[in-house]
Chain A
Amino acid sequence: MNLDDNDIRKLATLARINVDNSIIEDVAHKISDILDMIDQMQALDTSAVEPMANPLDAIQPLRPDQVTEPNQREAFQAIAPATENGLYLVPKVID
């Protein structure tokens, strides 16, 4: 499978990664190679294999519904770059 420069630019946008124009061609080539390898693996018959969510043969322990965590806002906010009125401040979000 061959990815072109535009594919890479779009993937970079979705992944929030800055890919410099000078290396786009190289990245396209490398990712195409990876996809070729995946194509090769698709030939394997996995129909009898159950998908695995976790390699451990164990189940999730459950916690009783109790409040165990006290308010430690001051300690947490002491290491935050910017806070105001108890809020963490971050660069303005545009959506």
Chain B
Amino acid sequence: MQWETVIGLEIHVQLATRSKIFSGAPCSFGAEPNTQACAVDLAMPGTLPVLNEQAVRYAIMFGLAVNSEINRNSVFERKNYFYPDLPKGYQTSQLEQPIVGCGRVDILLPDGSSKTVRIHHAHLEEDAGKSLHADFHGMTGIDLNRAGTPLIEIVTEPDMRSAAEAIAFARKMHSIVTSLGICDGVMAHGSMRFDVNISVRPSGSETLGTRTETKNLNSFKFMEDAIHKEVQRQIELLEEGGTVAQETRLYNGDTGESRAMRSKEEANDYRYFPCPDLLPVRVEQAMIDDIVGQMPELPDARQARFIGSYQLSRSDAGLLAADKALADYFEATVKSCNDPRLSANWIMADLAGALNKNGLEIAACPITPHRLGQLINRIADNTISGKIAKQDVFPALWLQQGEVDEIIEQKGLRQVSDSGALEQLVDEILAAKAVQVEQYRNADDKKRKKLLGGFMGPIMQASKGQANPAMVNQILRRKLDN
């Protein structure tokens, strides 16, 4: 039987505020345990939450970016459950009246087609602390630094039909929240975490199959693996005549295995009710207008501008625009060299390769956009060849050995474009290769093209790669073809 996969996502996005959603404690990553947990976060008796305005503004920014309705009135509710990293015994969240209503986002698929994914809603809530299950004499260690970190939870409709679509959507969300600057997007720190709802049904069927939820995936790769494995598991179950149980599953990225965490039968009854400690949130039109005025350029708009202003291909423009830091780097490079085409090529090939090899983000790139622009300028004005730029200058720039012009002078890399010197060099090589010259003269056009390389190679080698290849080619043709 042919099966169709149906996927919906819940995405937790940590907001890049300075302080927590309901307290004035800081929420930076990586602090010593419990040094960023104040009395409110610890649920000390008598403390009360006060809502962080920036968290509200960030949620609205997200809503505007995904074409959602912004709910003028929203309500915080208590989601009750017992767990030691949740000292209050409830998570302050939103349920009936979330701040961001339904919206829609277009994603570009690997085959070049596009698709709209509907967003059911997005709500504000607080993160929980962390439980460390390493052995503390049979006890569990609790770090509450993360407790109270502001989150938006984005909930989609079950609109995705494959792992590829789910990943494309997840990447798009990452691109949007980082472009907006409302999340640092560092997946390894848990800044974005994905819960994936998966079901399968016979192709052509309109009714949804029973779904499972795989929780807390914090990399695109884990997400893709987890979806493939879960789809396969469900199909095998159904084809053997079994049924899929509605349950929550945990995926272990190290082993690539998933296991059932809890079934619907024993699922927590969260007993949601409006939080009496917080009043309803009212969003005034003035606040929305103010945010609209400050919205940064979104990835889709930037991609369109890169295509229009810089004549980049759709895929190149999309790749650069999806990452705000990369797009900023690209535009700064273009500013220095005025050659968008070469800038894009250098950034996506050599620079991306070097960053990848060294495990660096673009923000930590040792080559400034200005220097890369200078390098491109020196190729464009024929001071150096593209090959020398790649082999000699780029690595020196990477090691921060100085400005482009200094490196070219110090290493003596200047391209030889002096026709007299090149003529002499060509004559020397031709004299040493009399046999090959004879072969060339007796060959037809097609064969000649091939044989020409046999002269180009040694000439470039003799010049240590510094001969201007276009000029050498010209001189060679003139001397050999006549």
Pick from A60, A77, A91, A95: contact of B279, CB below 8 A: A60
Please tell me if the beta carbons of A90 and B139 are within 8 angstroms of each other in the complex. Answer: yes
CB of A87 closer than 8 Å to a CB of B: yes
Produce 1/0 per residue, B264-303, CB < 8 A to A: 0000110000101011111000000000000000000000
Please tell me if the beta carbons of B281 and A63 are within 8 angstroms of each other in the complex. Answer: no
Number of residues of chain B lying within 8 A (CB) of chain A: 51
In the assembled complex, which residues on chain B have CB atoms less than 8 Å from the CB atom of A59? 279-282
Please tell me if the beta carbons of A76 and B139 are within 8 angstroms of each other in the complex. Answer: no
Please tell me if the beta carbons of A92 and B280 are within 8 angstroms of each other in the complex. Answer: no
Please tell me if the beta carbons of B53 and A64 are within 8 angstroms of each other in the complex. Answer: yes
Nearest CB to that of B28 among chain A residues? A67
Main secondary structure of the interface of B (DSSP, over half): loop
Please tell me if the beta carbons of A60 and B34 are within 8 angstroms of each other in the complex. Answer: no
CB of B348 closer than 8 Å to a CB of A: no
Nearest CB to that of A60 among chain B residues? B279
Q: Given A76-B42, A84-B136, A63 and B24 touching (CB < 8 A)?
A: yes
In the assembled complex, which residues on chain B have CB atoms less than 8 Å from the CB atom of A73? 32, 34-35, 37
Nearest CB to that of B139 among chain A residues? A89
Give A90 to B87 CA distance when docked, in angstroms: 12
Pick from B19, B83, B133: contact of A67, CB below 8 A: B19
Please tell me if the beta carbons of B140 and A53 are within 8 angstroms of each other in the complex. Answer: no
Number of residues of chain A lying within 8 A (CB) of chain B: 35
Please tell me if the beta carbons of A93 and B144 are within 8 angstroms of each other in the complex. Answer: no
Please tell me if the beta carbons of A85 and B51 are within 8 angstroms of each other in the complex. Answer: no
Please tell me if the beta carbons of A63 and B140 are within 8 angstroms of each other in the complex. Answer: no
In the assembled complex, which residues on chain A have CB atoms less than 8 Å from the CB atom of B436? none
Please tell me if the beta carbons of A91 and B52 are within 8 angstroms of each other in the complex. Answer: no
Please tell me if the beta carbons of A76 and B34 are within 8 angstroms of each other in the complex. Answer: yes
CB of B142 closer than 8 Å to a CB of A: yes
Please tell me if the beta carbons of B19 and A65 are within 8 angstroms of each other in the complex. Answer: yes
Q: Given A14-B268, A67-B19, A93-B84, A87 and B142 touching (CB < 8 A)?
A: yes
Please tell me if the beta carbons of B138 and A69 are within 8 angstroms of each other in the complex. Answer: no
Most chain A CB within a 10 A radius of its CB, from B19, B55, B82? B19
Give A93 to B34 CA distance when docked, in angstroms: 19
Nearest CB to that of A58 among chain B residues? B279
In the assembled complex, which residues on chain A have CB atoms less than 8 Å from the CB atom of B42? 76
Q: How far is the CB of B52 from chain A (nearest CB, A)?
A: 5
CB of A72 closer than 8 Å to a CB of B: yes
CB of B50 closer than 8 Å to a CB of A: yes
Q: How far is the CB of A51 from chain B (nearest CB, A)?
A: 8
Give A32 to B482 CA distance when docked, in angstroms: 108
Nearest CB to that of B44 among chain A residues? A76
Q: Given A58-B279, A67-B18, A92 and B35 touching (CB < 8 A)?
A: no
Known: A60-B51, A69-B23, A92-B139. 10 other contacts (CB 8 A): A59-B282, A62-B50, A62-B51, A62-B56, A65-B53, A69-B19, A77-B34, A82-B139, A88-B34, A92-B140
